[in-house]
Structure 1
Amino acid sequence: MGEQFHAKAKPRIVLVVCFLLLLPFLFTSSAMEEQKATWLWDASLIEHPEPILDFCREQGVGVIFLQIQKNVKDERYGRFIAAAREADISVHALDGRPEWAYEKQGGEAEKFIDWVLDYNRHAPAEERFAGIQFDVEPYQLKRWERDQAGVVEEWSRNMQEWTDKAREGGLYMSAAVPFWLGKIETEDGRGLSRWMLERFDALAVMSYRDSGTQMVDLSRGMLNEADRLGKSVWIGMELGETKEGDHVSFFRKPVTVMEEEMKNAYRLSEVHTSFAGLAIHHYEAWIEKIAAANPKREPGSSMGN
C-alpha cells in the first residue's frame, strides 16, 4: 500500500513543484501591469485631489509627474502629495523648456531645483516630492539643426550640474527623452542615452507609437543600457491628439485596443530588469479617453480591469 501511495503521489508532487516554479512568472505579468506613471500638466487640478487619485489608483499608477506652476500654492502641493502618498502614489516635480539646454538659461533649471529642495526642507515628510523630472527637449530649438554638437555640449554641462545639485538634496532624478537619443554622441563619443543613464536614476522614453510592439522596439536600446547600469526606464505612451500622425498616438484608437497594446508592451518588456512600467502621456487625455468610452461611469468606479 505504501508503494501504491508513493506511485500516486509522485505525479502530484511533480505538479506541485512545477506550479511553485511557475508561480513567480504567473504573478509577474499582473504585477508589471500595475507599474504605470503619468504626466499631469495642469497643476490647478490638484485643488481637488480625490478624482485624480481615484483614477490613478484604478489604473495602477504609482508615479505622477506633476508640472510645477507658480500660481499654485505650496499648501496645495502638500495636501496633494500627502493624499497621493496614502494611495501609494509618489509625486515627482516636473518642469522644463527647450532653452534650458543653453548654458545661459541653465540657471532657470537650477532655480527650479532650488525651489523643490527648499519646499522639501520646509514640508513634513509626508508632503515632500519624491523626485524631479526634467522635460527639456532642445531638439525643438532652431539652433539644433545647424549646431547640434554645440547644443548637446551645453546641455550636457547643465545636466551634470543639475543632477549633482539634486542628488545632494536626496532627490530621485529622471528625464523625458526621445527614443533616438542613443544616436546622439557626447564629446567623448558615447551615446547620449548612456551618458544620461549614468547620471540620472531613470529615463522616460517618448517611444510614442500606436503599437505596444513598436513602443518596446523603440525603447529596446535604452532598456538594454539601463539593464547593464542598474537604472530604470519608463516606456512612454501617447494618448493625446497630435499633428505628427495617427501612428504616434492612441488618440483615435478604442480603449480596448489601447489596453491590449498596453498588455503587449508589458509582456515584451518584463524580461528587462530596468523596465519601470508605462508612462502615459498624459493624465488629462487619459481620463477623457476613459470617460468617452464609459459615459455612465462614475469617476473612481471600477472598470473591471
Structure 2
Amino acid sequence: MKTKREIRFMLLMSCLILCLSTACSSKVSAIGSDERVDSYATIHGKLDRPVRATWVWDTTQIRSNTQDLLHFAAENDVNTIYLQINRDIKIPEYKSFIRLARAQNIAVDIMDGRSAWGLTESRNQIVSFMDWIEAYQAQALSQEKFAGIHLDIEPHVHPQWKTNQAGVITQWQGNVNYIVERAAAMKMPVGADLPFWLDNYKIPGSTMAVSSWMIRKFDSITIMAYRDTAAAIYNVAKDELIDAASVGKTISIAVETKQSKEGNFITFYEEGEAYMEEQLKLVENMASVHPSFNGFSIHEYTSWKTLKK
C-alpha cells in the first residue's frame, strides 16, 4: 500500500514527464515547419528573384543533352525550367537532372497540359498526372524534387470552345480546382499559361473575367503576351499585371521565339536574340511599376537556342 507522500510524488513525476514530452513534441513540430519553409524557399529559387524561364517540351533533352541544356540556361540567366512530363524518362534521370539544375540554382517545374484538360471527361488524365507527381515527390530527396507544377491547358483551341464555350469554361474551372487542391496537399506551388486576351471572356453566370478567376486560383500566371515590340508586349499584359497586383499574385510575361503562321508580329523569330533582349529590357522598365511583375518566360528552349544572334 503506497503512502500519500509516495502517491503525490508519483503524480508530480507524471506531470513533469508529460510537460517535457509536450515541449519536445512542440519543438519537433516547429522544426519540421521551419524545415518545410526552408526547403520550399531553397527548391524554388524564383522566390527571391524575378523569373527567367523557358519551356522544355522535349524531355529527352535531360537524358541526351543535359550539359548543353544547363549550359544554355546558365549563359542566358535562366533560373526556371518548365519540364514536360515524359513517362519514358526514368525516375533516376529526372532526379539526376534536377540535382544538376539545383546546383546552378535553377528551379525545375513539372509541366503538362492539353486542350482536352479543360473538359471533365479528361479528369482521369489529370488524376494520373497528379498521382505521378505525388509518388515522385515522396521518394525524391529535397535536392531532387520538382519546385512546382506548371500547366499549359489552353482549352480555347479545343473544338468544343466554339460550340459550348460556357460549358468548357465551367468544366475547366472544375479541373483547375482539383489540381490546385492536390498541389496544396503536396505543398507545391502551381502556375499556368494563359493567353492575354482571356479577360474578354466571362465566368458563366458572373461578371468576372476568366483571367481574373484563374489569377485568383493559381499561385502564379504566365501571360502569353506574344508580340515582338516592347510597347505591344506591355500593353497586352498590363491588365493582368494590375489585376494580379490587386490580389497579391505574380505574373511572368511570356514571349515567343518560334516561327509563327499567325504573323511576324507574334514572335522574335525574324528579329533575333539581341533585338529580343533589348525589347525585354524596355518591357521590364515599364512593367516593374506593378508589384505583380515577376520576370519573363521565353518560349521555348529549342527555338530560343537557334534564334539568330
* Residues 1:228 and 2:246 aligned together: yes
* Residues 1:239 and 2:257 aligned together: yes
C-alpha separation between the residues in 2 aligned to 1:202 and 1:128? 19
* Residues 1:253 and 2:253 aligned together: no
* Paired residue type of 2:167: G
C-alpha separation between the residues in 2 aligned to 1:161 and 1:83? 32
| Aligned partners of 1:35 and 1:60 also within 8 Å | no
Q: What CA deviation, in whole Å up to 9, does each residue of 1:197-222 have, x standing for no partner?
A: 11100111111001122111111111
Using the TM superposition, give the Cα deviation of residue 268 of structure 1 relative to its aligned residue in structure 2, in angstroms: 1.0
Instruction: Return 54-63 or 96-105, whichever deviates more.
Output: 54-63
Which residue in the other structure is 2:118 paired with? 101
Structure 2 counterparts to residues 1-305 of structure 1, below 5 A: 35-47=51-63, 48-187=65-204, 188-289=206-307, 292-293=308-309
**TM-score normalized by structure 1?**
0.82
Q: What CA deviation, in whole Å up to 9, does each residue of 1:229-276 have, x standing for no partner?
A: 111111010001111111000001132211111111111111111111
Using the TM superposition, give the Cα deviation of residue 186 of structure 1 relative to its aligned residue in structure 2, in angstroms: 1.0
Structure with max Cα Rg:
2
* Paired residue type of 1:79: S
Where 1:43 maps in the other structure, the secondary structure is coil
C-alpha separation between the residues in 2 aligned to 1:254 and 1:191? 35
Aligned-pair identity in percent equals 32
* Paired residue type of 2:275: V
Where 1:260 maps in the other structure, the secondary structure is helix
What is the CA RMSD across the aligned residues, in angstroms? Answer: 1.4
Q: What CA deviation, in whole Å up to 9, does each residue of 1:136-157 have, x standing for no partner?
A: 1111111111211110011111
Using the TM superposition, give the Cα deviation of residue 104 of structure 1 relative to its aligned residue in structure 2, in angstroms: 1.1
Using the TM superposition, give the Cα deviation of residue 107 of structure 1 relative to its aligned residue in structure 2, in angstroms: 2.2
| Aligned partners of 2:51 and 2:252 also within 8 Å | no
C-alpha separation between the residues in 1 aligned to 2:183 and 2:272? 40
Moved over 6 A (4+): none
C-alpha separation between the residues in 2 aligned to 1:74 and 1:217? 42
**TM-score normalized by structure 2?**
0.81
Which residues of structure 2 form unaligned runs of 5+?
1-47
* Paired residue type of 1:240: K
| Aligned partners of 2:223 and 2:252 also within 8 Å | yes
Instruction: Return 46-55 or 196-205, whichever deviates more.
Output: 46-55
Which residues of structure 1 form unaligned runs of 5+?
1-30, 294-305
Where 2:80 maps in the other structure, the secondary structure is strand
Where 2:261 maps in the other structure, the secondary structure is coil
C-alpha separation between the residues in 2 aligned to 1:212 and 1:245? 17
C-alpha separation between the residues in 2 aligned to 1:38 and 1:278? 9
